[in-house]
Structure 1
Amino acid sequence: MHGPRRFWKGGEMGRPPDARSTPAPAGTTAVPGLIPDLIARLPWPRWVLVAVAVAVGVLAVSCFLCVVCCCLRRRSRGRKKKPRDQGAVGLASPQSTTSTHLVQPDVGDSEAAPGGPQDWGRLLLSLGYDVGSQEIRVGLKQAADLRAGGPGGTADPYARVSLSTQAGHTHETKVHRGTLHPTFQDTCCFHVAQHELAGVALQVQLLNFRRFSAHEPLAELSLPLGAVDPQHVLERWYQLGPPGTTERERSGELCLSLRYVPSSGRLTVVVLEARGLSLGLADSYVKVQLMLNQRKWKKRKTSARKGTATPYFNEAFTFLVPFSQLQSVDLVLAVWARGPQFRAEPAGKVLLGARASGQALQHWADMLAHARRPVAQWHRLRPAREVDRALAQKPRLHLPLPGS
């Protein structure tokens, strides 16, 4: 028996209709592939799609160019940081046209040949003698080509001037920050009789200022004054020599801190410690004296420290100094000690204020520039007579006050 016959609609018996032969609906076009099919289904016009594709391409190209530029910059920076010794390898090659004597020697090379004329720098001085007052006038103009005082390749130099016959009378310039070519433009005078000029030598020491440690010597000049013409002013450059042992402090040093508050008028002086005092002195203490218009005003005293050349005090004293009187105030700190004859003697003094000079004047200016903040610094002890002589002079500078 045969089952019922099945007929496919629209086709022959036993074969299904071919889907590919089915006609597509009116208004559509059959496009093979996935991406064209997706594009055909989007409701946007074709020009919008083209604009979006162009924008994406431009953005991709811009990003690629930025990445390339960054890589090139990093490579150029790496080449600039190449060590000097690697860059100077070709100086000795036969094809090189650069001669080796034009290359500046390193620090180690210059130290190996002491006494070279360019090793320690130069100093511009002016010397003149006044027959009427019997004073030698020394003008410190500028210095050049000094040696660096630290790993940073720079220094904070200042000059100290004295005569060989007047060791207790010295003059210091202000500190010049971060330079190996300081311009001093400073003048000092020394009393010397005309018939004594032949046996006197001018001593100039260049030192690197350090706030919390011993000052580093940079160079030194010793100039005989016998050749000075009393009728003319001599100005010329002098070669500096290596520093000797005269820069070491024989009278000792004192470390102190200053702080001024303009609103309340409080001047706080902290006596921290001393060092380098004579071993023959005992029971050392510090007198802190405040002077107003060259007259004694207020004074304090620390407790005594026995049997030590490096006494540690750490005592603070506060003075009320009105803001209007700050320019007329001088601060004097004197280190006193008992000598072999059990008698108190001043081992040295430190003067701060408008009548000070050198690093002491710089410390006072730093206190005014950094109001309400303590500023600590080491100071060399000067002879008592030298400080008393400076107190009798008129103020040389009018320092700027905080807030002015």
Structure 2
Amino acid sequence: MVLAYLCAPPPGLRWAPIAVAVVAGILIVSCLLWAICCCRRCRHHGKKPRDKEAVGLGSPRGTTTTHLVQPDVDNKGEPQPWGRLLLSLQYDFGSQEIRVGLRQVADLRAGGPGGTADPYARVSLSTQAGHAHETKVHRGTLCPVFDEICCFRVPQAELSRTSLQVRLLDFKRFSRHEPLGALSLPLGAVDLQHVLELWHQLGPPGAAEPEQTGELCFSLRYVPSSGRLTVVVLEARGLCPALAEPYVKVQLMLNQRKRKKRKTHARKGTATPYFNEAFTFLVHFSQVQSVDLVLAVWARGPQFRAEPMGKVLLGTRASGQPLQHWADMLAHPRRPIAQWHHLRPAREVDRTLDLQPRLRLPLPGS
């Protein structure tokens, strides 16, 4: 018994052979798995897949060419799709007025990366510089329906040398409006004995914009509860460099009568003056449909006498962008709405104040 006890292994070493065997088995299995993975990886790098070889444009063995992926289409002989304009013309030989009906536009090009635009139309005659009609702005569409009519007085003797010019523009509140297309229609080549309504193909917008008298940026804010109309004159640009000390007059008219007048300080030696001056007028909620707001840029000309360089009319007798700005102010009470406006000739604005009927705009809370 003593000899058997001496020959038996100690209790702590009885499991040592089993542990060594398990560790050895794990090492052998790991080596086998590593060898299999290496073999597969070598086979993968040594053989190219068929799909990559078929579409690899840089591989000399590829069967697909760049013309199949991105064909080179030659459109030099086809007109660019700028859109189409449905236009109606009617000439009254008695009053010597031409009525231009802007019906609708189809298939305009998107002005921005969003795939849509905020188009409006500007209509003018080649023989009447500075006299133009602007339609309402239509938001988020490439097929706007205008249904607006404007009139121009054209003597019959001038029809042969007069062209009707229509420009489609993408409205931008704080930057220059992007042109979308244009139409120039010689009236001498049109039979005005009958009422015409035809589709016309729009062409690319002209490189040169019609001569402008400048632009003015201001904001409007109306609070119906207190009747406070706040006008903040911000800045102007594009003014004639020969003018001296430009400033802005803000005039509020009620029922075609001058009621209140304010003006900014003059800015010396600049064609892009910055004002940032606010004026507040009290306009009762019941009177807001009868108000005309006129902003005029004045400056000293070569005769050293202050003259109006251009005006902007807002209110229910305005049209185009000024009418849209006024409507946005009423639709969003208590919030300032800022926008750039083209200055119109002073005589044209004065004529509009005398002749243009008022519109009924929806009021907040009505």
Q: TM-score range by the shorter chain?
A: 0.7 to 0.9
8 Å Cα contact 1:161-1:203 kept in structure 2: yes
Alignment of 1:124 with 2:72, yes or no, is no
Deviation at 1:247, TM superposition (A): 2.9
Partner amino acid for 1:237? Answer: W
Task: Give secondary structure in 2 for the equivalent of 1:385.
Answer: helix
Q: How far does the alpha carbon of each residue in 1:66-85 deviate from its partner, in whole angstroms, 9 at most, with x for none? A: xxxxxxxxxxxxxxxxxxxx
Q: CA deviation at 1:230?
A: 3.5
SS of the residue corresponding to residue 236 of structure 1 reads strand
CA contact (8 A) 1:131 1:230 kept: no
1:343 matches 2:277: no
Structure 2 unpaired stretches of 5+: 1-54, 56-62
Alpha-carbon distance in 2 for matches of 1:375, 1:228: 43
Of 117, 124, 127, 1:162 maps to 124
Q: Which secondary structure does the structure 2 equivalent of 1:247 belong to?
A: coil
In structure 2, the partner of 1:243 is 205
Specify the alignment match of 1:180 in structure 2.
Answer: 142
Residues 122, 115 of structure 1: CA spacing in aligned structure 2 closer, same or farther, 3 A cutoff? farther
Q: Distance in 2 between matches of 1:224 and 1:394?
A: 28
How far did residue 295 of structure 1 move? 1.4
Distance, in Å, in 2 between the alignment partners of 1:163 and 1:370 is 35
CA distance 1:114–1:221, shift in 2 (3 Å) = farther
Are the counterparts in 1 of residues 212 and 342 from structure 2 also a CA contact under 8 Å?
no
Taking the aligned partners of 1:115 and 1:170, their CA distance within structure 2 comes to 34
Aligned to 2:227: 265
The one-letter code matched in structure 2 to 1:317 is F
2:188 to 205, 222, 226: 226
> Which residue in 2 is equivalent to 1:42?
none
Counterpart code for 1:311: P
Cα distance in 2 between the residues matched to 1:343 and 1:277: 17
Once the two structures are TM-superposed, the CA of residue 145 in structure 1 deviates from its matched residue by: 0.7
Identify the residue that residue 290 of structure 2 maps to in structure 1: 328
Length, aligned pairs only: 300
Matching residue's letter, 2:204? P
Using structure 1 for the length normalisation, give the TM-score. 0.71
Q: Is the aligned partner of 1:359 residue 2:324?
A: no
Query: 1:276 maps to what in 2?
Result: 238
Does structure 1 residue 288 correspond to structure 2 residue 246? Answer: no
Measured against aligned partners, the alpha-carbon deviations of 1:330-365 in whole angstroms (never above 9, x if no partner) come to: 100000011122111111100111111111100000
| 1-structure distance, mates of 2:87, 2:129 | 20
- Mean alpha-carbon deviation: is it higher for 369-378 or for 337-346? 337-346
Moved more, 344-353 or 154-163: 344-353
User: Does the C-alpha gap of structure 1 residues 359 and 192 become closer, same or farther in structure 2, counting only changes over 3 Å?
Assistant: same
Distance (Å, rounded) in 1 between the aligned partners of 2:140 and 2:209: 21
Q: Would the aligned equivalents of 1:161 and 1:170 in 2 still touch at CA under 8 Å?
A: yes
CA contact (8 A) 2:130 2:211 kept: no
Q: Tell me how far 1:396 sits from its aligned partner.
A: 4.2
| 1:378 lines up with 2:346 in the alignment | no
The one of 253, 256, 280 aligned to 1:318:
280
TM-score, normalized by length of structure 2?
Answer: 0.79
Q: In the alignment, what sits opposite 1:54?
A: none
- Please tell me the residue identity of whatever aligns with 2:262: R
Q: Secondary structure of 2:129's partner?
A: strand
Instruction: Give me the identity figure in percent.
Output: 79
Matches of 1:182 and 1:215, distance apart in 2: 17
Structure 2 distance, partners of 1:325, 1:290, is 12
Q: Distance in 2 between matches of 1:371 and 1:379?
A: 21
Correspondence for 2:10: none
Aligned-residue offset at 1:114: 7.1
Q: Secondary structure at the match of 2:288?
A: helix
Contact 2:173 2:340 in 1 (8 A): yes
Instruction: Say which SS state the counterpart of residue 131 (structure 2) adopts.
Output: strand
